[in-house]
Amino acid sequence: MKIRFFLLLMFFVPFALLAGGRTPDRQEVRAIWVTRFDYKSPLDVSSIVLNCAQAGFTDVFFQIRGNGTAFYPSRVEPWGFELFGRDVSMTGTNPGWDPLRMAASWAKRYRVRLHAYINVLPGWRGFEAPRRSAGQLWTEHPDWFMVDSTGTRMKPTSAWYSFLNPAHPEVREHLSKIAAELAQYDVAGLHLDYIRFPYDYKDVASEIYRNASAAEIKKHSTFSFDPVSLRAVGRSASRKKWDAFRRMSVSQVVKDLCGVFKSRKENAVISASVLADFKMGYHSAFQDSRRWAKDGSVDWVVPMNYNASFFDARLGKITHSLGHRLTGGKLVMGINCAGDADEILRQIDVSRLAGCRGFALFAYSHLFKNHQITEKGSMLFPDWH
């Protein structure tokens, strides 16, 4: 009982002392992810920001790009249909309000930092295609998507994305235009998710390629053998050369987005959700997280350390990889809120003891239901009202 009280005190007291103000350069970051599925109305947005402020979060990663669709009036991508429910035919329908502008306004009022959170490389998801008149990437630019080793365009599944090709110059230009649009908003930063290759597509590919052998699934899950990449590398190139090219392509997109956003918002924070296993990220997802932190491509690296069984071990490897300076300056530890409150509190405490810059909780929907605090949320935020 005493231990649990101590953990609650460790978690809440810094929230109470610092909530409501802009976090100085080295003060603890206490962030939360809010996905595009968490809101459909202006009231939803205002409730979300208020709840996050009252809970003591300093930063909110507010998702406004899903899969080639926007949740703000974009000139380069159509509106996301999720604002209206599950009807894909609503893609491109203007809801008559701007979720990002409204969230930014409420965040300023409650003095929390709002970050425009985007899925970077996902281009479409689900079996149903968007209506062609919406001008969505899946129908407008099929050549922008990754291609597997059989020469087949990557296909989305019922719940998984088809990815854009980071090596394609037109894809990079398109994503840079999105960053430029977002920089016009009164936000504190840009948060990047799905900034990697889909190494895990093999786990869902059988939904598309039914009765395929393991060898065939592997061929359909190895990307991207598109014309642009083949011209640059050559199909017969070594695995080492292919991996380096793919890794460079992803890193270049990160640098592009950072450069465009910061050229318009010099003091903005660029953050990225990354795999908690840096080694797997580097070799399989072509995500060079350590390099991004070291060379300034991102200001915060946010490992999604979601497996409770490996949390401490992965935290140790990450801090060892980054070193003391980068851990304290750039490491914001991602924590999954699907588990019980005691474990969440323990992970926050361990992250603090490791010297992390802060932590980020995934996600709002685990702590608030219909914008009312859940039992778990009440245990984490005992003074929320």
What is the predicted pLDDT for the residue at 254?
A: 98
Summarised one tens digit per residue, pLDDT across range 43-76 is: 999 999 999 999 999 999 999 999 999 999 999 9
Query: What span, in angstroms and rounded, lies between the C-alpha atoms of 53 and 384?
Result: 10
Residue 18's pLDDT band (boundaries 50, 70, 90)? very low
CA-to-CA dists, residue 229 to 148, 222, 254, angstroms? 11, 13, 18
pLDDT, average across residues 121-127: 97
Query: What span, in angstroms and rounded, lies between the C-alpha atoms of 216 and 220?
Result: 6
Count Cβ neighbours within 10 Å for each residue of 52-68 and write b for 16 or more, e otherwise: bbbbbbbbbbbbbbbbb
CA-to-CA dists, residue 274 to 217, 281, 300, angstroms? 25, 8, 10
Query: What span, in angstroms and rounded, lies between the C-alpha atoms of 3 and 9?
Result: 10
> Could you give the 3-state DSSP secondary structure of residue 198?
coil
Residue 16's pLDDT band (boundaries 50, 70, 90)? very low
Maximum Cα–Cα distance for the chain, whole Å? 64
pLDDT, average across residues 269-276: 98
List own/partner pairs for 37-44 with CB under 8 A and 24 or more apart: 37/82, 37/365, 38/363, 38/364, 38/365, 39/83, 39/99, 40/82, 40/83, 40/84, 40/85, 42/97, 42/102, 44/371
Summarised one tens digit per residue, pLDDT across range 141-178 is: 999 999 999 999 999 999 999 999 999 999 999 999 99
pLDDT(4) > 90? no
Contact 322, 292 (CB under 8 A): no
What is the predicted pLDDT for the residue at 383?
A: 78
What is the predicted pLDDT for the residue at 142?
A: 97
All domains of the chain in start order, with CATH = 2-380 (3.20.20.80)
Summarised one tens digit per residue, pLDDT across range 304-359 is: 999 999 999 999 999 999 999 999 999 999 999 999 999 999 999 999 999 999 99
Model confidence, pTM: 0.93
Query: What span, in angstroms and rounded, lies between the C-alpha atoms of 199 and 279?
Result: 13
What is the predicted pLDDT for the residue at 382?
A: 85
Query: What span, in angstroms and rounded, lies between the C-alpha atoms of 331 and 314?
Result: 13
What the block records as the tokens of 14 is 């810094």
What is the predicted pLDDT for the residue at 385?
A: 60
What is the predicted pLDDT for the residue at 384?
A: 73
Query: What span, in angstroms and rounded, lies between the C-alpha atoms of 246 and 68?
Result: 21
What is the predicted pLDDT for the residue at 25?
A: 54
